[in-house]
Amino acid sequence: MCISPASFLLEVLLFSSVIALASAQGSTKWLTLSGEKPLVIARGGFSGMFPDSSSFAYSVALITSGSDVVVWCDVQLTKEGTGICAPLPTLENSTNIASVFPTKQSTYIVNGVSMKGYFSIDFTLKDLENIYLTQGISSRSNLFDGNSLPIITVQDVPMQFQDVNTPGLWLNIQHDGFFRQHNLSMTNFVISTSRRVSISYISSPEMNFLRVIGRQLNVKKTKLIFRFLEKDSREPSTNQTYGSLLSNLPFIKRFASGILVPKAFIWPVSADNYLSQATSVVLDAHNNGLEVFASDFVNDLPLSYNYSYDPIAETLQYIDNHNFSVDGLLTDFPITQSAAIDCFAQLGKNSSAQVKLLVISHYGASGDYPSCTDVAYQNAIQDGADVIDCPIQMSKDAVPFCFPSINLMEGSTIAQSSFRNRTDSIPELISGNAIFSFSLTWSEIQTLTPQISNPLPKYQLYRNPAARNVGKFVSLSDFLTLAKSSSSLSGILLQIENAAYLAENQGVSVIDKVLEALSDTGISNQTTLKVMIQSTNSSVLKKIKGGGNYELVYEVDETIGDAANSTVEDIKGFAHSVVVSKSSVLPVTALYLTNTTIKTVSKLQAFNLPVYVQLFRNEFVSQAWDFFSDATVEINSFVMGSNINGVITDFPKTAAAYKRNKCLGSGNITLAYMTPVQPGSLLQLIPTNALPPALAPLSVLEDSDVNEPPLPSVSAKAPSPTSGSTSTSYITAPNGDSQPKFYVPVFISGLLVLASLFLSL
């Protein structure tokens, strides 16, 4: 079958620098059976992004992974016995066949179950010439479907890698019994193919097939792997459950050199989505001379809460836990496992930074704990944050404290407390009713129960429910004392907003209160801990400038693509650094990075203003498609591609680990997975008629955007309610903080609506 020439343009489109696919591991000793590093098996190529087993998927798998990646093909047979790569014996979920042959559905018994669909055995290879591959998982982008990607035969797979080293080939034979029922011999096909194509691995859940094929193949050249299905399913040759066969590994060793098991066989996950104790599967198999390969690694489904939505952290659990390592990982996103193995595994927590990057927490480790609590800050420090942040609010009795919003409903359960009737409406601060920080005294605020942030409830992606209400809120003085006692922090970031309103309407100078706390704790008189003070109001920074040895940080609260020189000169007059949104650095349209020329970072840095970027989250729906649902790929692209100076993140542990990964210190060798994504590369692979709307031109930051009127003088404090408000109705918690019991959701194909969210960040 013909191979699309577009696949050979992918390397140029996806990456902007030379890629060296050499291993970064050298002679590192692993706890695999052989002592060699684990294998990365790309299921259907890079099927997490492109149609399974397409030329795009296979090419990108090699481009973005290590040189020793193995590509996986689920083998199905056509009417005349030709082997093709397709995930299922029915083709309607992975191709457009239903629109080409609308009346050619059949019903067959497959493994004892009646199935209806467009079976490969009902079509010749010539019938399939005009059938094209499509994305079969509805939550993934279908915009590449219009590229007319043809079905690939098994013999075609090596042709996807012309002019580069051909990777290993893994054939999965899932339904040998079904094909035999229809007088098609998978055994004959595999033997014939092995004479023309080098096959590294063959897996099957059917013992008889492996026994038969093992007598006809050179098993030293081609390894045979017994694939385990769900524990309650029955193996057709023996009628035993796979669960029972797992306890008879010496028997499996007679015909196989390894086993392929779902990852949950190794690290089970409880009903509430937390890791249980590891089983002995890997150690038992190794003791019987069997390699162990783990399946089901995907980045775009919820992981166990233990991993904080970080797929690299999940991978490390299977290869770097100090007790065992699996011998290989079957994945839809091979870039993640390749990076985990070569860059992050066997990396000590105290290893030195490989790149100059400031990791700044966002409300502490708010991805795992309630925002701005003692627990969130303590864990941010443990996770390796360089700087922890405190968004300062003022209580009724003028005590500054850390809280994510001036509205106490946004980070606590106050809506269910006895203070729930203290609502007020102040449009100049926030739309709608709120319970403002200055409506409660500090002693009252201390009684509030924290509530973890769930910024993406629409996608049923919730954060660490076991810690949903842990910790306590801290005053600014407590925060400073905690930071001062840390030996690992390099700085603190204090955010000041609403200073004009507080001065004019609440009779308090938040600036004076902050400076007073810095003085009282002795931090203003030391040089060990850098003090950063951030605001979106230039007048706040102007008032502080010259009053101490502080780094003043100006936050640009709009999406920009450039800044006028005169404006940057103005900023430099009152600030030492700048915070901008991600979309001001790498803008997106419909969740795809655009190739729009953005000058934000380079312009600011040209005036010696470091640039810190917000907001980084690990949840895959918060990232552009170009980052492959991997938070580390996103961070790397901003750092290595855009040369930013710092990241502001809900998950400082992920950013801190990135900063220390050893691939960044590999000299002139840039591994594929540490090469920044080229903006606009994926858009260039989308057919013209499927392209999302073009991004509107981004604004240029002008002088009028940064010039603010002077702060008003502090007035006599206006009367404020103590037990009532302008609104007498009781309120309920915002929907964004509700958190039902976890269940694995079926995602709908509506992720593109998040584009507007990205443009607002």
Higher local confidence (pLDDT), 697 or 742: 697
Q: What is the pLDDT of residues 659-694, one digit of tens each?
A: 999 998 766 556 777 889 999 999 999 999 999 999
Which residues on adjacent β-strands are paired with residue 291? 258
Residues 515-532 have a mean pLDDT of: 93
Assess whether pLDDT exceeds 90 at residue 461: yes
Among the residue ranges 19-33, 265-279, 282-296, the one predicted with the least confidence is: 19-33
Structure confidence at residue 5 (pLDDT): 40
**Residue 511: pLDDT band by 50, 70, 90 thresholds?**
very high
Q: Which residues of 689-713 are buried (b: 16+ CB within 10 A; e: fewer)?
A: eeebeebeebeebeeebbebeebee
Q: How many CB atoms lie within 10 A of CB 287?
A: 12
Cis peptide bond N-terminal to 494, omega within 30: no
Are the CB atoms for 72 and 330 separated by under 8 Å? yes
Structure confidence at residue 717 (pLDDT): 65
Are the CB atoms for 280 and 249 separated by under 8 Å? no
Assess whether pLDDT exceeds 80 at residue 758: no
**Residue 66: pLDDT band by 50, 70, 90 thresholds?**
confident
β-pairing, 106-110 vs 113-117, is antiparallel
Q: What is the pLDDT of residues 359-403, one digit of tens each?
A: 999 999 999 999 999 999 999 999 999 999 999 999 999 999 999
β-pairing, 433-434 vs 560-563, is unpaired
Structure confidence at residue 7 (pLDDT): 45
Helix (H) or strand (E) holding 661: none
Structure confidence at residue 85 (pLDDT): 98
Structure confidence at residue 760 (pLDDT): 41
Residues 424-439 have a mean pLDDT of: 96
Which residue's structure tokens are 């692979």? Answer: 685
Assess whether pLDDT exceeds 90 at residue 340: yes
Give all strands (DSSP E) within 604-652, no chain letters: 611-616, 646-649
Q: What is the pLDDT of residues 208-266, one digit of tens each?
A: 999 999 999 998 899 999 999 999 999 999 999 999 999 999 999 999 999 999 999 99
DSSP label of 697? P
DSSP label of 225? E
Rounded to 5 degrees, what are φ and ψ at 42?
A: -90, 105
Structure confidence at residue 8 (pLDDT): 42
Assess whether pLDDT exceeds 80 at residue 733: no
Domains, in order of start, for the chain: 27-344 (3.20.20.190), 358-665+698-760 (3.20.20.190)
Are the CB atoms for 369 and 466 separated by under 8 Å? no
Residues 443-448 have a mean pLDDT of: 98
Structure confidence at residue 473 (pLDDT): 98
DSSP label of 389? E
Q: What is the pLDDT of residues 548-592, one digit of tens each?
A: 899 999 999 999 999 999 999 999 999 999 999 999 999 999 999
Residue 99, exposed/middle/buried by CB under 10 A (0-12, 13-18, 19+)? exposed
What is the identity of the amino acid at 547? G
Assess whether pLDDT exceeds 70 at residue 10: no
Structure confidence at residue 350 (pLDDT): 76
Instruction: Pinpoint the alpha helices (H) of 384-475.
Output: 442-445
Q: Kindly report the average pLDDT of the chain as a whole number.
A: 90
Structure confidence at residue 303 (pLDDT): 96
Which residue's structure tokens are 């399939």? Answer: 128
Residues 739-755 have a mean pLDDT of: 36
Q: What is the pLDDT of residues 351-368, one digit of tens each?
A: 899 999 999 999 999 999
Assess whether pLDDT exceeds 70 at residue 463: yes
613: which 2 tokens? 């970027």
